[in-house]
Structure 1
Amino acid sequence: MSGTEALIRRYFPYDTFRKYQWEIARSIYDALSGGKVALIEAPTGVGKTASALAASLAYAEEDNAKVLFLIRTKNEAQAPIRELRRLRDRGGVNVDFVIIRNRPDMCCMVSTRKLPYEEFLEECKFLRSSGECPYYSNIRKININDLMPNIVDGGVGNVNEYVSTLCTHNVCPPYEVSRMYMDRARVGIMTYYYIFSINKPETMNIDVKNSVLVIDEAHNLPDAISSLNSIDLPLTSVVASINEVRRLVDDEELKNRTIKILRGGLQTYMVKLSKVLEEETMVSLELGDVLQFFEDFQAITDAYYEIIKRKRSAGVPIPYTPLSRLLDFHKAILNRVSGFSVFLARDEQGVSLVYKCVDPSVVSGPVINEAGGVVLMSGTLPPRDYVTSMLGISRGGIVEYRIGFRDYVRSENYGVLIYDGVTTRYVERDEEEYAKIANILSRVYQVYPLDKAILSIFPSYAVLKSVRKYLSPPSVKYIMELGNTSIDDLIRDLRNDRKRLIMAVAGGKLVEGVEYRLGSENLLGLIIIVGVPYPEPNDYLDDVMEILAARLNDRKLAWELTYQWPAIVRIKQAVGRAFRSESDRALVVLMDRRFREARLAKVFEDYFGKYVIVNEDALINEVLNFSVTPPH
């Protein structure tokens, strides 16, 4: 055994490598040693996390670097925590780690953490500066270098345990303690936010030049960077600001100047343009057209400070005003950073002005190209050209290692059906189509014989709600993804009653980075993709496509990468929920006639190697037969 292999094995949390795990670890180590970026694609369940940590820690030990394990959502923190805990339990190798989540999630004061994010930050700042947070003052009374290793050695199994354990030591916020311990810890587990956001209130100083970045679920990174570095100004905030100015600003001249900007300018402009959004979700605006409303911005600033002063003098515990949204938005658009544009956007909360990052490479390029090492891994990693173009990778080369779905999952353990009797195509969807989809889901649920859950994935929340109203409990026991739905609550429900129809949104929190397991038991036996989850065309995506077309010199490929590839990734991610080990078995149903179109059919034929087109009766029979027929 070579010295390199022995070092990697020292940090591997299992006695032996499963199929492909050594190859993943070796590819990552070689890439890091050669100053290259590692691109790793492997289906969920192969064991990417354990291999990536082992290789990165081995390299980091030799290079005296830190490992930053970066995740998109807090649910995804479970995997690295689990592997680091197993490493300690198996080989007695203790690796100091910290977990960084946003301040509200890591606050010990339950009442405060429930506040809206901006208001929480204001309250937290006030309580710390005034000495009224009893937990925060205790930071000075403890030795963090003694406390933190004991927390980790105590067997923290998940993020909630980590936070609650720190709170039992009367140390608040755990966010501050973790941030202070980052210098000593060998591994930091945190969301993309802390590395790939600019000008955000919780950004911390991290030496990326002396860090290995292990970026999990990296197919999400371009979109995540765009979202993290965008700032919006909702119409509702403008209206709320008008009401506060009228009530709380006494100076009549200042009041009139401010309301002229807000009501006569911004509100009128946004309401007028909102009519354009009846057909599109996002339209491009000229920056100059928006900046004209901020020419007398001193009035907004003066009104802001007068309102805050008045609230404080009145004893308001949280002196927050929606005018702060205008201040933040104005500051952002004045910067005029390359790669950003202004849009008017519409979502379920209403209309907003959005200063949005359209070229994530302006943020990610400097970070990735300067970092001590970079690993991009996912079960559905986009093509190399897309990754390098969108992220601005220009450092000394790429090492790729990709494992296909069929390389990992045995053919007898899955089936793929295309049901072409429905569609969610925008121009064809209507109430009749929604009712038809609901009827199919009901029939499938009623004949499905296994004591397992059915995961149904919808292209949008709007389609999900439209279908759900035609389902009739208790004949169909469903769990619908909501804003406050947590995976912990979902697994708890499935523990009590396995057979549920889970209704989730493509790319949402019940699909990405989630494990539907109880111990070694797989809770899913059937995946239904309702519709093709194409992103809705809009001016923002058109801008992204133009950037790709210019860099790749191929407009057709740019369109596929902008519109088709995200849909394919979302479908593959959903399918991956059912296959967490080589022994898992599940049926996949692609429910939309568009799956028969040549460009999609070829993709999924290459990916799965097989599929069968069925009508409604055949679909029901296939669900029943696959469920009761044991594998070969």
Structure 2
Amino acid sequence: MNPSFSFPFEPYDIQKKFMNELYFTIEYRKLGVFESPTGTGKSLSICCGALQWLKDTNLKVVEELRKEINQLKLELSTTIGADDWLQEEYEKLKKNQLLVSLQLKLDKIKQREEKFTELKKRVNIQKKSLNKIEHHFPKRDKPNEVDKSNEAGDVKDCDEKENIEDQDLIVEECQNKDDESDSEETCLDDENDSNTKIYISSRTHSQLSQFVGEIKRTVFSNSTRVVTLASRQHYCINPDVTKLKNVNLINERCLDMQKSKTKSTSVGEEGKVLKKTKTSSCNACPYYNLNNITKLKEQLLVDIMDMEDIVKTGKQLKACPYYASRMALDDAEVVLISHAGIVSSGARSGISLKLQDNILILDEAHGLTAALENAHCAPVSAKQLCSVKTFLEFYINKYQARLSSRNLLQLNQVNFVVGKLLGLVQSKTANDKTGDATIFSLEDFVIKAEIDHLHLRPLVEFCRSTRLAPKLHGFSMRYSQQALEEENKKVEVKKASFKEFLSNMSKKKNQDEVLGDLHKSEIKASNQTNSVPTESSAGSGLYAVLDFLEMLCGRSADGRVLARPGDGGMLKYLLLNVAEHFAQVVQQCRSVIVAGGTMEPVAEFKALLTNNSLEVDRVNVVKCEHVVPPGNVLGVCLSKGPSNIQLNFSYEYRASKDLLNEVGRVLRNVCSIVPDGVVCFVPSYSYEQMLFEHLTSTKVIESISKKKKIFREPKSASEVDQVLHKYAAAIKNKESSDLNGALLLSVVGGKLSEGLNFSDDLGRCVMVLGMPYPNVKSPELQEKMNYLNKSTPGAGSVYYENLCMKAVNQCIGRAVRHANDYACVLLVDERYSRPQTVAALPSFVQKSLKTNCTFGQTIGSIAKFFARHKEKK
């Protein structure tokens, strides 16, 4: 069986290899580790290979069903009389039942195809009518703005009435879990769908948008139903909800608005509306309209849209993109989702993701382990604990007369636990130094925190079911604002009222201290505009506490708690073995493929896919060569500088003036002979700052500026695009400025080391100064390495080495992005010449790599390399 692939152009041999291997890995239910260097059309190969398999399989299923149905019909029509008539009738009955079930499957497939054809026609008619309306009535939104203002007025009136008694803030008795789930599933189709789905996952939503663009380029664009899934935080178009910023608060507010809408009418036994309540105008979301959501769902199934398109169309149709994408999930054939949505079991169940017998392809998989660790890590800061403690005490004392005895008891228990956790991060014994961290096993931690006698799970469930976090958030915001207004009017009256207000608080604390804590919390919260919570707000803080406690409830033998006391103190749950959790995903899927530009070390991904078992035969490892010819890449490991100084950037040497001076000489010479763009990666932001200051003081920056315009990676993400545009413009307009290009100083693991494209003139040389090893004294890293060493001696050191080389390989991958591109990769550190380090570099660099080079050899090789390519041009 040799599949033929529909490609937008004549594919390279490595692309053919990639698609073939992908096809057969899925066909034979295997697991795959696919390495295809950046710039080799990996995304397009994934789309064409996987979609070709899906289309072929769908056709094969129909053919097999027809063949089986015809065979059964033939057998039933030509039954020969048997001696045992009873057995004959039984066999006939069984065959008839099988025939009916097979015919039903075939009919469903036909109906689905017919339904999709009709859907296309209907959506095209809707789009034409919508375009006509917008053409003739371009300002139609104005009446809705009036309505919205009226609604806002209604909301304000409602809020004022609710403020009288704070009824919306009171914790009620636990509701049935069924009620909670109803709100999530209101928009979802109940039909069981047997569609085979391909889930494509990547690190960021912008990378998922690239897949949308690639699918549009293929022949499958008109016949494939694609949906991009994202959280409410990304998809919500209601400004009253998005202003909350925190994803948990956004989720809770959205569910609240749904309940307001669904409960706005009471329905009789026969389904007739009996009466309407007043809540609908106060809280219902105007975008949660089933008719509009259905229209948006149909449009995103017919037209392949990325996230921006879905949000834009959602605003036009006044329909919620979040629920439209979820409603489209059952009918979709390709589902695009971020790594975070796949690796967390909570996220998967929250969006009803069905992985059973489906295909999962994880692109940019070099970050998969980190994504798994983040998904099962729960940090909570001392600021968050302090905020929760303060407002929880305030809340209990204000409403204790109105709370049921059961709820009051559980609130006091939650307050007790938060107090103990806070005490642990604030405690300073004679041996403790601020910032020193300790790692505990889960058993040791609960004993140290003095909460080992409590059942934590019921407390977490109580907080979740009563929705304490959004109530506490509303409480903290409402009374912080109130306090600020009173302070502006009458400062003295405000102080007196708060002393009176806090008179009933616990006698365990000095009243002046409590007042001081509360006053600080109020002023901090009241400075936020429009009640937007910060990371230390009571609501978002309680969510962090609950996530932390939930992890403790798991009592995993591989779980640890990091406790760092002091002013910037924190607690952090760590999971040392993430493969166990990823095994749940692998078991469900028909096939799981991890793909990336550099998949070294392969052993790490094999262990992740097989949960460290011996089932490695099921893993298909595919390594594709780069499309770039070996002569287009020059790799050099520079071991000695111009002054013959040994180049070693380990932590104890990197700040020496001799080494910094040597770096200045290397940069000055490289910038003189390399045309166009040079990107230089350094180990950290602090080292980049130190290096830049030193080169400025020694006039090296001034000297380089005569050859190239110098740019530095900004710390703010919002400034990255601006710097990149200026860098590109400096290279493009080099002739008018008498310069030969630009130099960009970047940071390994920073904003420019992943996902960016320095092709052609933008990246003729990529330099990496030093080896970016993480801080080996980090308690988290030490614990992880010790854990690995216990299972396999030496595994901790291998893990540490791999962390460094993964970061280096991501930097190298920024250059050489297509077959005709060429670039020099300059690795400045004597340690790059070690055999184990060379083996961890990308194969396309290894082919031309020169190790243990002196400065003279290096400069000569670089000069010849660019002279040769200048002649070719």
TM-score, normalised to structure 2, is 0.61
The separation in 2 between residues aligned to 1:241 and 1:364, in whole angstroms, is 33
Specify whether residues 540 and 71 from structure 1 end up closer, same or farther in structure 2 by C-alpha distance, changes over 3 A only.
Answer: same
Contact 1:40 1:401 in 2 (8 A): yes
More strand by percentage:
1
Q: Which residue of 2 aligns with 1:426?
A: 651
Q: CA deviation at 1:269?
A: 6.3
The separation in 2 between residues aligned to 1:249 and 1:38, in whole angstroms, is 54
Give the counterpart of 1:365 among 569, 573, 583.
583
Q: CA deviation at 1:37?
A: 0.9
Give the counterpart of 1:148 among 300, 308, 314.
300
Specify whether residues 149 and 28 from structure 1 end up closer, same or farther in structure 2 by C-alpha distance, changes over 3 A only.
Answer: same
Q: CA deviation at 1:353?
A: 1.6
Q: CA deviation at 1:227?
A: 1.3
Q: Which residue of 1 aligns with 2:365?
A: 218
Contact 2:364 2:597 in 1 (8 A): yes
Give the counterpart of 1:264 among 403, 423, 441.
423
Q: 1:497-538: CA deviations, max 9, x gaps?
A: 334444444344432333335xxx563211111221223324
Q: Which amino acid aligns with 2:763?
A: L
Whether 2:245 is the aligned partner of 1:115: answer yes
Q: Which amino acid aligns with 2:214?
A: E
**1:454-493 → structure 2 map (5 Å cutoff):** 454-470=678-694, 472=696, 475=705, 476-485=709-718, 491-493=724-726
Whether 2:234 is the aligned partner of 1:105: answer yes
Whether 2:274 is the aligned partner of 1:53: answer no
Specify whether residues 133 and 574 from structure 1 end up closer, same or farther in structure 2 by C-alpha distance, changes over 3 A only.
Answer: farther
**1:163-562 → structure 2 map (5 Å cutoff):** 163-172=311-320, 174-200=321-347, 203-245=350-392, 250=397, 260-261=419-420, 263-268=422-427, 275=434, 277=436, 283-292=438-447, 293=449, 295=451, 307-308=472-473, 310-311=475-476, 314=479, 321=538, 322-344=541-563, 350-393=568-611, 397-404=618-625, 408-420=627-639, 421=641, 422-430=647-655, 432=657, 435-436=660-661, 439-440=664-665, 443=668, 446-447=671-672, 450-452=675-677, 454-470=678-694, 472=696, 475=705, 476-485=709-718, 491-498=724-731, 499-516=741-758, 523-537=762-776, 538-545=778-785, 548=788, 553=792, 555-556=793-794, 558-562=795-799
The separation in 2 between residues aligned to 1:119 and 1:440, in whole angstroms, is 54
The separation in 1 between residues aligned to 2:43 and 2:619, in whole angstroms, is 20
Q: 1:135-182: CA deviations, max 9, x gaps?
A: 532344342442213442xxx4x543443343333323x233222211
Q: Which residue of 2 aligns with 1:5?
A: 3
Q: Which amino acid aligns with 1:608?
A: Q
Which deviates the most, 160-169 or 61-70? 160-169
Contact 1:193 1:203 in 2 (8 A): no
Q: CA deviation at 1:121?
A: 4.1
More helix by percentage:
2
Q: 1:283-312: CA deviations, max 9, x gaps?
A: 522323432436277699699688446347
The separation in 1 between residues aligned to 2:51 and 2:354, in whole angstroms, is 17
The separation in 2 between residues aligned to 1:47 and 1:127, in whole angstroms, is 44
Contact 2:711 2:723 in 1 (8 A): no
Specify whether residues 306 and 168 from structure 1 end up closer, same or farther in structure 2 by C-alpha distance, changes over 3 A only.
Answer: closer
The separation in 2 between residues aligned to 1:578 and 1:270, in whole angstroms, is 52
Q: CA deviation at 1:580?
A: 1.4
Q: CA deviation at 1:52?
A: 2.0
Which deviates the most, 252-261 or 282-291? 252-261
Q: 1:183-228: CA deviations, max 9, x gaps?
A: 1111111111112113359842211113211111222212221112
Q: Which amino acid aligns with 1:291?
A: V
Contact 2:770 2:828 in 1 (8 A): yes
Specify whether residues 86 and 379 from structure 1 end up closer, same or farther in structure 2 by C-alpha distance, changes over 3 A only.
Answer: same
Q: 1:545-579: CA deviations, max 9, x gaps?
A: 4565566x5x23x2453011232222222212212
Contact 1:449 1:627 in 2 (8 A): yes
Contact 1:464 1:503 in 2 (8 A): yes
Whether 2:138 is the aligned partner of 1:138: answer no
Q: Which runs of 5+ in 1 are unaligned?
A: none
Q: CA deviation at 1:326?
A: 1.8
Specify whether residues 550 and 33 from structure 1 end up closer, same or farther in structure 2 by C-alpha distance, changes over 3 A only.
Answer: farther
Q: CA deviation at 1:543?
A: 4.7
Which deviates the most, 599-608 or 563-572? 599-608
Contact 1:151 1:165 in 2 (8 A): no
Larger Rg: 2
SS in 2 for 1:214: strand
The separation in 2 between residues aligned to 1:263 and 1:39, in whole angstroms, is 44
Specify whether residues 615 and 385 from structure 1 end up closer, same or farther in structure 2 by C-alpha distance, changes over 3 A only.
Answer: closer
Specify whether residues 324 and 31 from structure 1 end up closer, same or farther in structure 2 by C-alpha distance, changes over 3 A only.
Answer: closer
Specify whether residues 17 and 81 from structure 1 end up closer, same or farther in structure 2 by C-alpha distance, changes over 3 A only.
Answer: same
The separation in 2 between residues aligned to 1:5 and 1:65, in whole angstroms, is 19
The separation in 1 between residues aligned to 2:713 and 2:237, in whole angstroms, is 30
SS in 2 for 1:250: helix
Q: Which amino acid aligns with 1:599?
A: Q
SS in 2 for 1:45: coil
SS in 2 for 1:241: helix
SS in 1 for 2:556: coil
Whether 2:741 is the aligned partner of 1:611: answer no
The separation in 1 between residues aligned to 2:390 and 2:430, in whole angstroms, is 17
Specify whether residues 309 and 455 from structure 1 end up closer, same or farther in structure 2 by C-alpha distance, changes over 3 A only.
Answer: closer
Contact 1:339 1:362 in 2 (8 A): no
The separation in 1 between residues aligned to 2:602 and 2:833, in whole angstroms, is 27
Q: CA deviation at 1:541?
A: 3.8
The separation in 1 between residues aligned to 2:430 and 2:245, in whole angstroms, is 29
User: Percent identity among equivalent residues?
Assistant: 19
Contact 1:67 1:213 in 2 (8 A): yes
SS in 1 for 2:299: helix
Q: Which runs of 5+ in 2 are unaligned?
A: 59-194, 262-282, 401-407, 482-529, 642-646, 732-740
Q: Which residue of 1 aligns with 2:144?
A: none
Q: CA deviation at 1:70?
A: 0.8
Contact 1:77 1:190 in 2 (8 A): yes
The separation in 2 between residues aligned to 1:469 and 1:129, in whole angstroms, is 58
Q: CA deviation at 1:337?
A: 3.0
Q: Which amino acid aligns with 2:29?
A: G
* Corresponding residue pairs, total: 605
Q: CA deviation at 1:425?
A: 1.4
Contact 1:448 1:624 in 2 (8 A): yes
The separation in 2 between residues aligned to 1:100 and 1:247, in whole angstroms, is 40
Q: Which residue of 1 aligns with 2:216?
A: 85
Which deviates the most, 198-207 or 72-81? 198-207
Which deviates the most, 598-607 or 356-365? 598-607
